[in-house]
Structure 1
């Protein structure tokens, strides 16, 4: 049976308004609205085929059960207000596909349980240090942030090939923490974004976005991320006074952060003066460091997803079959995995799906 919520989801995933979909299909905007709001008969088979082809989804997508979807009230957005409504809807729709894929993986594998304590009343710096101690990290640099968060039960998926205005968002769904990332940015930016979204998961789970100061929440998340990635004592032991841009570029490698993030942390901890920080910012801006990270690090990839899809590949479950189970095309599956599992589809085969007992458990 036709599911109207699926039509809305498909349209929003493509970033189209009802009017745009109407123009692309030759239908009227009123017909699209009626289909989505169940104010008319369901589309005929011919019309449904037209909608499916235009939106680039299998017909079966529109006949499946309703998917859970993040909302702007539950997802933590960076630069939310700068995004168009269409862009917001599109990235939120990616969350619905991420939930669906993760639910499918849960059926096949045992995934790590969440170990993400809530600290809503803690100051950001204190919460970052407390979480480090809870996870047994001490105050040493974190070699791989993505792998660490996955090991603690945080599900991380890609937002595909998005413009710079889209960074990341995080939310809790059915007791499971999720982060969705724009993986087109630098490795340093992604590490900081992961720590920033971790802050939202730890500090801001129960905050009502309609009553909250969005700028204050973002400042808290940035402060948490800085303290989490660059602990005070380790900075004290290894950072230099009055550093130049060149020395910062060398020093940033220890903490895996951007040169601008390291300069900000040094200023925050009063290792450098306002005057020195301002001059560093001017020089970094002239050199283009905010858009092109100097001496960039390699991107971190997902151990969890690589293990899952390597096991599926060895059991001869193909990319096309996984997409078929989710009622999407492989291209949309690829978007969810963009950058996270770069070589997973090599040598895939397409056969019948085995039972859970034949699949390996992710450890």
Structure 2
């Protein structure tokens, strides 16, 4: 198989390098990089060695088939207009490696089929109610957002992007829903991001609003999905002070700012109260460090996958070798759970039958 220029382009972007920056690192002309990526010219063995060294990917990786790549048009990104292209492209490239890992897992495990609907004809509030009804959640708080998504067939991956610009993104691929969450955010923000991306998946599967309008709809969905109106108003029909909200937020495991906004939308606080609480939240530093912070959610599916692989003596190094990617790329996508795989023995095998990873959410 010949050197694949598309794979080179993908990993260059994964490393946050422009064509010019990559060419400077290699001490070559940027047009050479362009010709490599467009397969107009193949790099020689010495050049491939240098490419591998700079990008920290094995030489073998660049000789594989084309990979599925998330596109800017297909992925939902918040604040896309202000997001640096470098950060956006690096996150999308991580998504491509996530697809590669997901395909590897699906060859060995039976994952849940998705149980999502196209709710694009609903309002965001109506879509949240409809999905709660479909999933028989009622009005009760959601104890674990990621577990629920996985039980309903959503593929959830983590992102370890050292940037505040990337919150999360989601998309459909081969009729499977995917969500990628940046784990650099607070645990409460991660839950909201997960619900926000679920909103995109059910409201915008076949297009629809774009940009700010689509993001506003996803935010409204997430707010309603995590904090059902009747439940919120039963607990706080009228807001007295910020301490009341600080105590109540523990019920829904949301950020104080998100609860403040939801209460105002539901008419439980006045405009003056809402703005006053916004100022107090900012002054107390609660936008960066939540009062009564919750434990960060992680994946149940990946836990089950690695529990099964441990029994087969398959290590994260074996997975990375199969995919021809660095071990760190696997770790970054699975909430760090790959660190549980640590065997010194030889002769790892893969499962001879597909393990059933259906989940039950209580």
TM value normalised by structure 1: 0.95
Cα offsets for 1:299-318 (capped at 9, x unmatched): 11100001001111121001
1:354 aligns with 2:350: yes
State the distance in 1 between where 2:345 and 2:201 align: 38
Aligned to 1:158: 158
1:251 offset after TM fit, Å?
0.5
In structure 1, runs of 5+ residues without a counterpart are none
Residues 313 and 348 in structure 1, CA contact (< 8 A), matched pair in contact too: no
Aligned to 2:332: 335
1:109 aligns with 2:109: yes
1:77 offset after TM fit, Å?
0.4
| Secondary structure of the corresponding residue to residue 43 of structure 1 | coil
Residues 125 and 220 in structure 2, CA contact (< 8 A), matched pair in contact too: yes
1:24 offset after TM fit, Å?
1.1
1:8 offset after TM fit, Å?
0.3
In structure 2, runs of 5+ residues without a counterpart are none
Aligned to 1:247: 244
Residues 158 and 183 in structure 2, CA contact (< 8 A), matched pair in contact too: yes
Aligned to 2:186: 186
- What are the residue-to-residue correspondences of 1:30-109 with 2, within 5 Å? 30-40=31-41, 42-109=42-109
Cα offsets for 1:40-73 (capped at 9, x unmatched): 2x11111111101110000111001110000000
1:347 offset after TM fit, Å?
4.8
1:325 offset after TM fit, Å?
0.9
1:167 offset after TM fit, Å?
0.2
CA RMSD of aligned residues (A): 1.4
1:290 aligns with 2:291: no
Aligned to 1:202: 202
Number of aligned residues = 357
| Secondary structure of the corresponding residue to residue 227 of structure 1 | helix
| Secondary structure of the corresponding residue to residue 107 of structure 2 | helix
In structure 2, relative to structure 1, the CA distance for the partners of 1:224 and 1:8 (3 Å cut) is same
1:190 offset after TM fit, Å?
0.6
Aligned to 2:230: 233
State the distance in 1 between where 2:349 and 2:81 align: 43
| Secondary structure of the corresponding residue to residue 51 of structure 1 | helix
Residues 316 and 338 in structure 2, CA contact (< 8 A), matched pair in contact too: no
1:354 offset after TM fit, Å?
2.8
State the distance in 2 between where 1:73 and 1:258 align: 29
State the distance in 2 between where 1:137 and 1:193 align: 19
State the distance in 1 between where 2:274 and 2:206 align: 35
State the distance in 2 between where 1:74 and 1:12 align: 18
State the distance in 1 between where 2:278 and 2:346 align: 53
- What are the residue-to-residue correspondences of 1:247-326 with 2, within 5 Å? 247-326=244-323
TM value normalised by structure 2: 0.95
In structure 2, relative to structure 1, the CA distance for the partners of 1:252 and 1:342 (3 Å cut) is farther
Residues 317 and 349 in structure 1, CA contact (< 8 A), matched pair in contact too: no
Deviating beyond 3 angstroms after TM superposition, the runs of 4 or more aligned structure 1 residues are 346-350
| Secondary structure of the corresponding residue to residue 100 of structure 2 | helix
1:161 offset after TM fit, Å?
3.5
| Secondary structure of the corresponding residue to residue 8 of structure 1 | helix
